[in-house]
């Protein structure tokens, strides 16, 4: 009878050890699952926070921002862009990428040039681009684009549109005034508060006999 009792004892002991091992494995697996779930929840919260911060940043900028994928499909934009299009946000969301570009192009002086340039950019895939857009109503925008990468892999392009109409008009006015001053028969001299000559036109050269290079930077 003793061998049988020993065998039963060994079997029961082995079964208990196996059960304990399974229980420990189950407990460890449950702990790992809980930890993985908590880590995933933290990552999800961090991602949601990052997305919220990114959206807040996009909405606070004075530039119109558009994000596209590698095929040119619009994947996101801010409210400033919809203002530039002259459309409410809900209608802009309802349009596809081709419709948005077509709508934008209609407002420009040269729609075909605009659309052709877009095609060129997506075909040549430059890291960065810069263009000046002239609208039919006289507005002038600077358009920048930059390749967007994740883990050194190109995933799309970010476009920014900046209204430089006032600056452009100021530059045009300044240029015209400079041309008027330069070509005037009258002697026109500019100086700063310390009476140092800052400009000396051709009329002043003829009247006083000194060239601009001789006079600019000297005391009046």
If one compares 15 and 53, the residue with the highest pLDDT of the two is 15
If one compares 185 and 215, the residue with the highest pLDDT of the two is 215
Reply yes or no on whether the pLDDT at 100 is more than 80. yes
Q: Are 136 and 109 in contact (CB under 8 A)?
A: yes
What is d(CA 5, CA 141) in angstroms, rounded to the nearest whole number?
94
Mean pLDDT of 16-30: 81
Lookup: tokens for 126? 């430059």
If one compares 171 and 188, the residue with the highest pLDDT of the two is 188
Q: Render pLDDT for 68-89 as a digit per residue (tens, 0 to 9).
A: 888 888 888 888 888 887 776 6
Q: Is the pTM of this model over 0.85?
A: no
What is d(CA 205, CA 220) in angstroms, rounded to the nearest whole number?
14
Say which residue the tokens 């045009």 belong to.
172
- State what percent of residues in the chain have pLDDT above 90: 19
């Amino acid at each position: 009878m003793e061998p049988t009792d020993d065998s039963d004892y060994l079997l029961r002991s082995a079964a208990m050890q196996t059960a304990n091992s399974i229980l420990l494995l189950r407990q460890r697996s449950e702990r790992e699952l809980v930890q993985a779930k908590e880590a995933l929840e933290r990552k999800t919260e961090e991602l949601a926070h990052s997305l919220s911060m990114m959206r807040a940043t996009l909405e606070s900028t004075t530039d119109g921002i558009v994000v596209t994928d590698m095929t040119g499909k619009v994947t996101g934009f801010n409210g400033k862009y919809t203002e530039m299009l002259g459309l409410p946000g809900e209608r802009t969301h309802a349009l596809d990428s081709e419709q948005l570009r077509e709508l934008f192009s209609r407002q420009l002086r040269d729609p075909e040039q605009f659309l052709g340039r877009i095609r060129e950019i997506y075909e040549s895939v430059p890291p960065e681009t810069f263009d000046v857009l002239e609208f039919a109503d006289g507005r002038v925008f600077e358009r920048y684009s930059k390749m967007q990468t994740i883990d050194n892999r190109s995933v799309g392009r970010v476009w920014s549109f900046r209204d430089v109409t006032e600056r452009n008009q100021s530059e045009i006015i300044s240029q015209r005034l400079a041309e008027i001053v330069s070509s005037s028969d009258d002697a026109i001299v500019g100086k700063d508060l310390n009476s140092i000559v800052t400009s000396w036109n051709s009329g002043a050269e003829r009247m006083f006999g000194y060239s601009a290079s001789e006079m600019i930077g000297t005391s009046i």
